[in-house]
């Protein structure tokens, strides 16, 4: 059997753990740049705040219902996620962290155990230890565990745990599950299937396998099998990323090359850090820039440049050099830019590295520099040591007007603020 445990209204719940006055009030969390609603408390859902809605369209609703609004605080959510996952891990033989607020559990060897009792205990323990409410679905396949999880969330009398362990329960559950709510059925397939008269997950399972294969490929066929109780998706082990992207919308539109270059350097540095964290090198780098597609009256421009790196690398200085080369080749004056991004791809393990006979860079030395930089930043706070091209202006920086304190990682923040105030020179740069 598989379990799927999911944190209820995760980001909103994180804010509440350290600010109990939010309990019972509608809470929403905004995307980066305070753009769209990306998480809502139950109360916020109840007053009709839709997911993904731009915040500026909600001003009235927010005022009339006294909605508590927060900028996203990923440092806090990441830390809370870790606490939740660590707690779960002590109760099961295997855990697959599927997203920041979700994990699949392997429930092998539980034949002699009352799964409901086990589930209730797990749900209560996580909530007690972390303050985050969670729901658990249990079923013979991952896709059915997802279905069960929705029921655990929806019906209060389940007390957070729902189990699909018989064909009767499976049929009953699938008949009241809309096809679009099935894991693996997105907006496109949902529309297509409804066109063919398939409205519930049950309708879908009653179609012939060959029809599903023909219309939805092997992926759709797997979903079909899983819904019929035949497991096709196993627990997965975390793999290294095959591509890494860092992109952001700017807090305000930017027109000048230097300020956007600073943003590109920062995004590249972030990609390089992630590469080093997973002990990989990239072979390819992509830089893109774009104007604001929502400004209908402004001239629009999007462009990207993909560059094959001469030697695979994860060195911030080297990657920033090539990123800026790409950026300068696509930058055009006369536009108001709203967003930029850097993607590193064709990722390979650090070892063994195929070198280049004519490469005259002292890679050993630069690797040590990166290592020292990473260690210092781990010790004294993010970006304490950085590359000169990353700059200090940060004109591109995000809007984050309603950020909550980083409750769980306060120490570093206090240190950083104090250091910046008293002695700005404490921030070192490598040039």
Partner DNA sequence: TCTGGGGTCCTAGGACCC
Q: Which stretch binds DNA (CB under 7 A): 62-70, 130-138, 292-300, 406-414?
A: 292-300
Tell me which of 42, 86, 166, 243 binds DNA, using CB under 7 A: 243
Instruction: Tell which residue, 345, 336, 344, 321, has the closest CA to residue 260.
Output: 336
308 binds DNA (CB under 7 A): no
Q: Cβ distance 39 to 69 under 8 Å?
A: no
Binding to DNA by residue 247, rule CB under 7 A? yes
Is 52 an interacting residue with respect to DNA (CB under 7 A)?
Answer: yes
282 and 313 in contact (C-beta within 8 Å)? Answer: yes
Among the listed residues 328, 269, 260, the one whose alpha carbon sits nearest the alpha carbon of residue 291: 260
Lookup: tokens for 368? 């040590």
Of residues 42 and 99, the one with the C-beta less far from DNA? 99
Site for DNA in 112-171 (CB under 7 A): 146
Q: Judged by CB, which is closer to DNA: 217, or 310?
A: 217
Ramachandran quadrant class, 295 (left: phi over 0; alpha: psi -120 to 50; beta: rest): beta
The answer to whether 73 contacts DNA (rule: CB under 7 A) is no
CB of 271 to DNA, least distance (A): 8
Closer of 238 and 334 to DNA (Cβ): 238
Two tokens, residue 355: 């070198």
Task: Sort 12 into a burial class: Cβ within 10 Å, 0-12 / 13-18 / 19+.
Answer: buried
358 binds DNA (CB under 7 A): no
> 119 vs 251, which CB is nearer to DNA?
251
Least distance in Å: CB of 113 to DNA? 27
Tell whether residue 292 is a contact of DNA (CB under 7 A): yes
Report the distance separating Cα 47 and Cα 63, nearest Å.
12
242 binds DNA, rule: CB under 7 A: yes
Per-residue binding letters, 375-414, with DNA (x by CB under 7 A): -----------------------x----------------
The CA distance from 122 to 160, in Å, is 10
What is the rounded radius of gyration, in angstroms, for the C-alpha atoms of the chain? 25
Contact pattern for DNA over residues 411 through 430, marking x by CB under 7 A:
--------------------
Sign of CA dihedral 40, 42, 46, 47: negative
Is 32 among the residues that bind DNA (CB under 7 A)?
yes
- Closest CB 345 distance from DNA, rounded Å: 8
Residue 190 binds to DNA (criterion: CB under 7 A): yes
Provide φ and ψ at 302, rounded to 5°: -135, 135
Strands 337-345 and 68-71: unpaired
Regarding 335 and contact with DNA (CB under 7 A), the answer is no
Q: Which residues contact 431 (CB under 8 A, 6 or more apart)?
A: 387, 388
Q: How many residues bind DNA (CB under 7 A)?
A: 46
Q: 36 or 118: whose CB is closer to DNA?
A: 36
Q: Which is nearer to DNA, 138 or 182 (CB)?
A: 182
Element (H, E) at 74: helix 74-89
Binding of DNA by 274 (CB under 7 A):
yes
Kind plus residue range of the DSSP H or E element containing 149? helix 142-154
Does position 363 interact with DNA (CB under 7 A)? The reply is no
From residue 138, alpha-carbon distances to 103, 131, 172, 282 in Å are 12, 22, 15, 39
- Residues found near DNA in the complex (CB under 7 A): 31-33, 35-36, 38, 52, 54, 56, 98-99, 101-102, 146, 182-190, 217-219, 239, 241-249, 253, 274, 292, 294-295, 338-339, 341, 343, 398
């Amino acid at each position: 059997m598989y379990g799927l445990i999911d944190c209820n209204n995760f980001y909103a719940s994180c804010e509440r753990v350290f600010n109990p006055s939010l309990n019972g009030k509608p809470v929403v969390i905004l995307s980066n740049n305070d753009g769209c609603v990306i998480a809502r408390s139950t109360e916020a859902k109840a007053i009709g705040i839709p997911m993904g809605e731009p915040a500026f369209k909600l001003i009235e609703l927010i005022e009339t219902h006294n909605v508590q609004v927060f900028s996203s605080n990923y440092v806090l959510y990441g830390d809370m996620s870790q606490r939740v996952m660590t707690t779960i891990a002590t109760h099961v033989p295997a855990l697959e962290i599927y997203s920041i607020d979700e994990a699949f559990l392997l429930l092998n060897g539980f034949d002699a155990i009352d799964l409901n009792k086990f589930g209730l205990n797990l749900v209560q323990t996580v909530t007690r230890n972390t303050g985050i409410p969670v729901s658990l679905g249990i079923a013979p396949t991952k896709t059915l565990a997802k279905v069960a999880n929705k029921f655990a969330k929806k019906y209060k009398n389940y007390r957070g745990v729902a189990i699909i362990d018989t064909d009767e329960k499976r049929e009953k559950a699938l008949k009241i599950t809309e096809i679009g709510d099935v894991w693996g059925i997105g907006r496109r397939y949902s529309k297509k299937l409804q066109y063919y008269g398939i409205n519930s997950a049950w309708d879908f399972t009653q179609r012939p396998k060959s029809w599903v294969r023909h219309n939805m490929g092997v992926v759709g066929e797997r979903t079909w099998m899983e819904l019929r109780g035949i497991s096709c998706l196993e627990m997965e082990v975390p793999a290294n990323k095959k591509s890494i992207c860092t992109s952001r919308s700017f807090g305000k539109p930017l027109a000048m090359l230097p300020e956007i270059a600073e943003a590109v350097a920062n995004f590249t540095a972030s990609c390089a850090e992630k590469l080093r964290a997973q002990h990989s090198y990239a072979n390819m780098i992509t830089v893109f820039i774009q104007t604001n597609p929502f400004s209908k009256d402004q001239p629009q421009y999007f462009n990207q440049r993909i560059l094959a790196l001469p030697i695979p690398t994860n060195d911030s200085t080297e990657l920033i050099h090539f990123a800026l080369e790409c950026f300068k080749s696509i930058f055009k004056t006369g536009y108001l830019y709203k967003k930029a991004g850097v993607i590193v791809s064709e990722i390979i393990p650090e070892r063994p590295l195929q070198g280049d006979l004519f490469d005259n860079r002292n890679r050993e030395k630069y690797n040590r520099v990166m290592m020292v930089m990473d260690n210092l930043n781990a010790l004294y706070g993010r970006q304490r040591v950085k590359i000169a091209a990353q700059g200090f202006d940060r004109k591109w920086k995000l809007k984050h007007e309603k950020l909550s304190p980083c409750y769980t990682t306060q120490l570093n923040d206090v240190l950083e603020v104090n250091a910046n105030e008293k002695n700005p020179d404490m921030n070192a740069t490598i040039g």
